[in-house]
């Protein structure tokens, strides 16, 4: 097939949590040479690109989301030369490499912050957000960090507080200081010049804070449950409109390269209009793509998914590329969250993900139906989770990739101690599933082939055909998806289906030709149909 233009539109992207994917040197931590070793597998999986979770030097209080040097590679993961080799070897297999960029905050070990801490007149003081105590000596306002504690830490030496929307070790940058803009434009070019194909932008909605540091209000009744579950609505501590100027500028930089580099935002936004804003407007484009969190956080149910897909596709500007994803290193794995670790439901979910029009981001292990792993308290590593008792630990979805049935699942040497424990990988591992024609992995492989042939690439041609409590049906170009998202049998009657040819079914035994308008679906069965009259 001719290369897709632009490459990111309708691409299939694979998120690699590098520490957990493939360990080449037996230290129990995955690394970049390990990713190189796995490239042929990624090619077989049909991936157009990989997004590497943070790879830059970091004290690892948030495993790389606390960057201490934006222009290098974390020694645990490899070297700059390893990154160059990865970009080159991936390129030889037509796979692009995207990195994770963290512009909202740095590590407190970053030289900018170390300098800022040296005093109010230091050169980098205003790279960060500082404010004096309130009259009662307390924090400057009511903002809370990601653990639910005050988002301000007091600096005894200067008598001021600094802001951190995440951990105290992750001071927020002050984007009102234009020098911060210049730093990040330099960082973008540094990696683009090395051949990196784009960035996933961490906390893309968050960079600017309210200039007056106004108190956040309580959530509103009509807010998304993810917002209502917090004590405050993060209206002033993030989600400020000024951020759009940053992305308009970054877009010019990214589009100035050949082939173009892609910007994919972690756009934690539940209002569709505001979400759509991140794509920019006609003559002022911004991000190429943004993660769709209402979809990520939905349930695998026809009414809910249909509503979200309709609203998303209705809100995005013409020509925009939606992004569909269901698992990541924060929210957990969809086979567990959506599917109770049942393979039938997992196949149905993969069918939906693969056939919605747009770019698909799979999280490593999704292709296997890999489940979240219960990580015992003494083995937990994620400080953010430890600081939020009562919430499931994010470690559960960061455990090592199971490659085979060998000790340590082929992730690391058999005698190593992986940095997080492995779950039960007896059946769910690459080698065992590759050998089983009925595995989730081989089902994904078939979908990947269809995506390569253009399934889901016909943006703008989406049309919902049917939706009830159980069934969801839609078409993209000449292909229809008909899926039963329930544990009961269902029937779907649609005149368009008559004469259609079933390209793939989640369940064996499905007749390949549809003679009439009815399709009888087993629980969690889905079919992809080439329509007779496109
Ligand atoms: C979002 C990332 O996905 C998450 O893992 C991280 O803890 C926060 N941003 C802070 O960088």
Angle at 289 between CA 287 and CA 292, to 5 degrees: 125
Q: Count CB atoms within 10 A of the CB of residue 249.
A: 15
Same domain assignment for residues 344 and 376 = yes
* SS3 label, residue 479: strand
Same domain assignment for residues 33 and 155 = no
Rg (CA), the chain: 23
Of 534, 494, 485, nearest to 516 (Cα)? 494
CATH of the domain at 279: 3.20.20.80
With beta carbons less than 8 A apart as the criterion, state whether 413 and 26 touch. yes
Residue 2's pLDDT is 52
With beta carbons less than 8 A apart as the criterion, state whether 199 and 257 touch. no
60-65 contacts, C-beta under 8 A, 24 or more apart: 61/107, 61/167, 61/169, 61/170, 61/383, 62/166, 62/167, 62/169, 62/170, 62/382, 62/383, 62/384, 63/19, 63/381, 63/382, 63/398, 64/100, 64/102, 65/100, 65/102, 65/166, 65/170, 65/202
Whether 102 is in the pocket of ligand 1, judged by its Cβ within 6 Å, is yes
Whether 250 is in the pocket of ligand 1, judged by its Cβ within 6 Å, is no
Active site residues: 202, 266
Whether 203 is in the pocket of ligand 1, judged by its Cβ within 6 Å, is yes
Whether 384 is in the pocket of ligand 1, judged by its Cβ within 6 Å, is yes
The token pair at 198 is: 């784009």
The token pair at 231 is: 């004590």
Same domain assignment for residues 129 and 188 = no
Residue 135's pLDDT is 96
Average pLDDT over residues 293-305: 98
Question: In degrees to the nearest 10, what's the CA dihedral of 394, 395, 397, 401?
Answer: 160
CA of 385 to the centre of ligand 1 (A): 11
Residue 533's pLDDT is 84
Q: Of 394, 425, 452, which residue constitutes the final position of a domain?
A: 452
351 within a domain of the structure (yes/no): yes
Q: Of 397, 424, 452, which residue constitutes the final position of a domain?
A: 452
Residue 387's pLDDT is 95
3 within a domain of the structure (yes/no): no
Whether 145 is in the pocket of ligand 1, judged by its Cβ within 6 Å, is no
CA of 62 to the centre of ligand 1 (A): 8
Average pLDDT over residues 477-485: 95
Residue 458's pLDDT is 67
Gap between the Cα atoms of 233 and 219, Å rounded: 5
2 within a domain of the structure (yes/no): no
Same domain assignment for residues 78 and 157 = no
Burial class of residue 25 in the structure, from the number of CB atoms within 10 Å of its CB (0-12 exposed, 13-18 middle, 19+ buried): middle
With beta carbons less than 8 A apart as the criterion, state whether 89 and 36 touch. yes
Whether 101 is in the pocket of ligand 1, judged by its Cβ within 6 Å, is no
Kindly list the distances between the CA atom of residue 47 and the CA atoms of 33, 90, 132, in Å, as whole numbers in the listed order.
18, 10, 50
Same domain assignment for residues 411 and 473 = no
Q: Of 119, 137, 163, which residue constitutes the final position of a domain?
A: 163
Q: How confident is the model at residue 454 (pLDDT cuts 50, 70, 90)?
A: confident
CA of 199 to the centre of ligand 1 (A): 14
146-167 per-position pLDDT tens digit = 999 999 999 999 999 999 999 9
Please enumerate in sequence order all residues whose Cβ is within 8 A of that of 345, keeping only pairs 6 or more positions apart, or say none: 300, 335, 338, 339, 524
Gap between the Cα atoms of 292 and 290, Å rounded: 6
Name beta bridge partners: 475. 463, 480
Same domain assignment for residues 193 and 272 = yes
Gap between the Cα atoms of 24 and 380, Å rounded: 23
- Closest-lying ligand 1 atom to the alpha carbon of residue 62: 7
CA of 136 to the centre of ligand 1 (A): 32
173 within a domain of the structure (yes/no): no
Same domain assignment for residues 157 and 212 = no
Whether 166 is in the pocket of ligand 1, judged by its Cβ within 6 Å, is yes
Closest residue by Cα to atom 6, ligand 1, is 65
Give the global pTM. 0.97
Counted residue by residue, the chain has a size of: 534
Residue 294's pLDDT is 98
369-426 per-position pLDDT tens digit = 999 999 999 999 999 999 998 899 999 999 999 999 999 999 999 999 999 999 999 9
CA of 65 to the centre of ligand 1 (A): 6
Closest residue by Cα to atom 8, ligand 1, is 65
Whether 300 is in the pocket of ligand 1, judged by its Cβ within 6 Å, is no
Closest residue by Cα to atom 4, ligand 1, is 330
Longest dimension (CA), the chain: 79
122-146 per-position pLDDT tens digit = 999 999 999 999 999 999 999 999 9
Same domain assignment for residues 231 and 199 = yes
521-531 per-position pLDDT tens digit = 999 999 999 99
The token pair at 335 is: 């086979």
Residue 192's pLDDT is 98
Angle at 483 between CA 477 and CA 486, to 5 degrees: 160
Mean pLDDT taken over the chain: 96
Gap between the Cα atoms of 131 and 108, Å rounded: 17
Kindly list the distances between the CA atom of residue 526 and the CA atoms of 18, 421, 476, in Å, as whole numbers in the listed order.
33, 34, 15
Whether 202 is in the pocket of ligand 1, judged by its Cβ within 6 Å, is yes
CA of 146 to the centre of ligand 1 (A): 9
Kindly list the distances between the CA atom of residue 214 and the CA atoms of 104, 140, 142, 223, 234, in Å, as whole numbers in the listed order.
19, 9, 8, 20, 11
Residue 475 belongs to domain spanning:
462-530
CATH of the domain at 472: 2.60.40.1180
Burial class of residue 233 in the structure, from the number of CB atoms within 10 Å of its CB (0-12 exposed, 13-18 middle, 19+ buried): middle
7-47 per-position pLDDT tens digit = 999 999 999 999 999 999 999 999 999 999 999 999 999 99
Residue 455's pLDDT is 82
37 within a domain of the structure (yes/no): yes
Same domain assignment for residues 155 and 197 = no
**Residue from 16, 145, 166, 385 to probe ligand 1 pocket by mutation (most atoms less than 8 Å from CB):** 166
Same domain assignment for residues 138 and 238 = no
52 within a domain of the structure (yes/no): yes
Q: 131 or 477: which carries more pLDDT confidence?
A: 131
Of 366, 330, 263, nearest to 63 (Cα)? 330
- Pairing mode, strands 130-131 and 152-155: unpaired
Same domain assignment for residues 93 and 79 = yes
Please enumerate in sequence order all residues whose Cβ is within 8 A of that of 196, keeping only pairs 6 or more positions apart, or say none: 87, 97, 98, 99, 261
Distance from chain centroid for Cα 175: 24
168 within a domain of the structure (yes/no): no
The token pair at 502 is: 């079933």
Gap between the Cα atoms of 29 and 331, Å rounded: 22
pLDDT higher than 80, residue 459 = no
Residue 111's pLDDT is 98
4 within a domain of the structure (yes/no): no
Whether 330 is in the pocket of ligand 1, judged by its Cβ within 6 Å, is yes
Closest residue by Cα to atom 2, ligand 1, is 202
Residue 282's pLDDT is 80
74-118 per-position pLDDT tens digit = 999 999 999 999 999 999 999 999 999 999 999 999 999 999 999
Please enumerate in sequence order all residues whose Cβ is within 8 A of that of 78, keeping only pairs 6 or more positions apart, or say none: 31, 32, 33
Name the one residue in this structure whose structure tokens are 């769709």: 292
Name the one residue in this structure whose structure tokens are 């970053």: 110
The number of distinct structural domains making up the chain is: 3
CATH of the domain at 126: 3.90.400.10
Same domain assignment for residues 32 and 63 = yes
- Closest-lying ligand 1 atom to the alpha carbon of residue 65: 11
CA of 495 to the centre of ligand 1 (A): 46
């Amino acid at each position: 097939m001719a290369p897709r233009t632009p490459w990111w539109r309708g691409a299939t992207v694979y998120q690699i949590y590098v520490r957990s994917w493939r360990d080449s040197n037996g230290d129990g931590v995955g690394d970049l040479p390990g990713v190189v070793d796995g490239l042929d597998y990624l090619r077989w999986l049909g991936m157009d690109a990989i997004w590497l979770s943070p790879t830059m030097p970091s004290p690892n209080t948030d495993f790389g989301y606390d960057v201490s040097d934006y222009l290098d590679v974390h020694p645990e993961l490899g070297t700059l030369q390893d990154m160059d080799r990865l970009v080159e070897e991936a390129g030889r297999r037509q796979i692009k490499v995207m990195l994770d960029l963290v512009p909202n905050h740095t590590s407190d070990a970053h030289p900018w912050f170390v300098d800022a801490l040296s005093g109010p007149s230091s050169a980098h003081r205003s790279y960060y957000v500082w404010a004096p105590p309130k009259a009662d000596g307390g924090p400057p306002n009511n903002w809370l960090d990601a653990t639910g504690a005050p988002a301000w830490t007091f600096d005894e030496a200067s008598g001021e507080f600094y802001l951190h929307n995440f951990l105290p070790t992750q001071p927020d940058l002050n984007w009102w200081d234009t020098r911060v803009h210049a730093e990040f434009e330099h960082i973008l070019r540094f990696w683009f010049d090395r051949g990196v194909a784009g960035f996933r932008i961490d906390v893309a909605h968050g960079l600017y804070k309210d200039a007056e540091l106004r108190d956040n209000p309580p959530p509103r009744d009509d807010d998304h449950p993810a917002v209502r579950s917090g004590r405050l609505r993060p209206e002033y501590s993030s989600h400020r409109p000024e951020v759009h100027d940053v992305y308009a500028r970054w877009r010019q930089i990214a589009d100035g390269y050949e082939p173009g580099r892609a910007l994919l935002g972690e756009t934690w936004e539940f209002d569709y209009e505001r979400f759509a804003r991140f794509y920019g407007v006609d003559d002022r484009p911004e991000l190429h793509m943004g993660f769709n969190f209402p979809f990520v956080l939905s349930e695998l149910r026809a009414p809910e998914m249909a509503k979200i897909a309709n609203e998303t596709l209705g809100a995005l500007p013409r020509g925009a590329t939606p992004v569909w994803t269901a698992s990541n290193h924060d929210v957990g794995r969809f086979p567990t969250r959506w599917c109770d670790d049942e393979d039938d439901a997992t196949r149905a979910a993969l069918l939906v993900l693969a056939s919605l029009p747009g770019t698909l981001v799979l999280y490593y292990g999704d292709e296997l139906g890999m489940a979240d792993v219960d990580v015992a308290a003494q083995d937990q590593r994620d400080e953010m989770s430890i600081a939020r008792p009562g919430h499931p630990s994010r470690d559960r979805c960061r455990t090592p990739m199971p490659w085979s049935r060998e000790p340590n699942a082929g992730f690391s040497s058999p005698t190593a101690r992986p940095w997080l424990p492995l779950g039960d990988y007896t059946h769910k591992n690459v080698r065992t599933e590759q050998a089983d024609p009925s595995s989730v992995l081989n089902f994904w492989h078939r979908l990947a082939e269809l995506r390569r042939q253009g399934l889901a690439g016909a943006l703008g041609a989406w049309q919902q055909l049917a939706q009830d409590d159980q069934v969801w049906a839609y078409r993209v170009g000449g292909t229809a998806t008909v899926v039963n998202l329930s544990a009961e049998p269902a029937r779907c009657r649609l005149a368009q289906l008559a004469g259609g040819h079933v390209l793939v079914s989640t369940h064996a035994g499905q007749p390949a030709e549809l003679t009439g308008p009815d399709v009888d679906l087993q629980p969690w069965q889905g079919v992809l149909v080439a329509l007779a009259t496109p």
